[in-house]
Amino acid sequence: MITREEIDAVLAAHASWKARFHEFLVGRAGLDIAVLGTTDHCAFGNWLDRYGAKYLKPEQYREIDALHAEFHRVAAEVADKLKSRDFAGAHALVAQGGKLEQASSALAARLLQVKDAL
């Protein structure tokens, strides 16, 4: 069974990953850009694959998995834009209200809906 505390913990893990990504973007931390687009190299993804797949309702799991994948897809898109020196494009993705924030917010909102239903 998934608990409210577990959801709080995975939301915190997601926030921590976003903070590390921000540190990478401003040059204060390294990050393996080869795995940015994958969902199994972060604490949230590991939790989702192990526990979410087992304890969430199938439709909840599919939706959260897709939202998580979209978040990582956008993060990888940011890195690709930086690599190709498209700084304006990367900035647009990470700016307030940009695709990265939208993807992260959608994921968090869905998890909070699951938490509220517990």
The CATH number linked to 83 is 1.20.120.30
Kindly report the pTM of this predicted structure: 0.93
Range of the domain at 96: 4-117
Alpha carbons 50 and 21: distance in angstroms, whole number: 24
Mean pLDDT along residues 13-18: 95
Contact by Cβ (8 Å): 108, 11: yes
Give residue 97's pLDDT: 97
Q: At what angle do helices 58-83 and 99-117 cross, to 10 degrees?
A: 160
pLDDT of residue 90: 95
Higher pLDDT, 7 or 27: 7
Cα(102)–Cα(96) distance, rounded to whole angstroms?
Answer: 9
Q: What is the pLDDT of residues 44-94, one digit of tens each?
A: 999 999 999 999 999 999 999 999 999 999 999 999 999 999 999 999 999
Question: In this structure, which amino acid lies at residue 108?
Answer: A
How do residues 24-43 score in pLDDT, each as one tens digit?
998 898 888 889 999 999 99
Number of domains in the chain: 1
